[in-house]
Amino acid sequence: MDQQVMDSGQIERIRNNPKYQELVSKRSRFAWILSIIMLVMYYAFILVIAFSPASLGAPIAKGSVITIGIPVGALIIVGAFILTGIYVRRANGEFDELTRQIKEEAK
């Protein structure tokens, strides 16, 4: 395995690197935004179940056994996958590029 051991001076240089601080800030902010979106979707669903269960229990069409809650629940699950994909796409692009630049400058 080709692993490098960093000394405390190198670690300190990386922590003080403006690109590292930018990476940490952008990544944290983006993760929090996506987390909040997911939590709002999920808790909105739970609140509708708690306070207006009939609205999600209503059939999609007259005579249908499928209720509105089923596709809404499925959309929440799909939404989680979409948000994960959005994060991965940005992480593999912008965040990986910043990480590469930081590693180059740390050498």
**pLDDT tens sequence across 51-102:** 999 999 999 999 999 999 999 999 999 999 999 999 999 999 999 999 999 9
Give the residue numbers spanning the domain of 60.
17-106
Q: How many CA atoms lie within 13 A of 86 on its CB side?
A: 14
DSSP string, 17-46: -HHHHHHHHHHHHHHHHHHHHHHHHHHHHH
pTM given for the model: 0.79
Q: Is residue 4 part of a domain?
A: no
- Tell me if 91 is assigned to some domain: yes
Token pair in block for residue 86: 């959005």
The per-residue pLDDT for 69 is 95
- Domain membership of residue 58 (yes or no) is yes
Domain assignment of residue 9, yes or no: no
Give pLDDT tens digits for 6-61: 677 788 888 888 999 999 999 999 999 999 999 999 999 999 999 999 999 999 99
Q: Is residue 2 part of a domain?
A: no
Given 3-state DSSP classes, what are the helix, strand and coil percentages for the chain, each rounded to the nearest 5? 80, 0, 20
Q: Domain for residue 12, yes or no?
A: no
Is 8 a member of any domain? Answer: no
Q: In 15-26, which positions are buried (b, 16+ CB within 10 angstroms) versus exposed (e)?
A: eebeebeebeee
Residue 5 counted as domain residue = no
Q: Residue 63 carries which DSSP code? A: T
Residue 45: what pLDDT? 96
Number of domains, the chain = 1
pLDDT band at 3 (very low <50, low <70, confident <90, very high): low
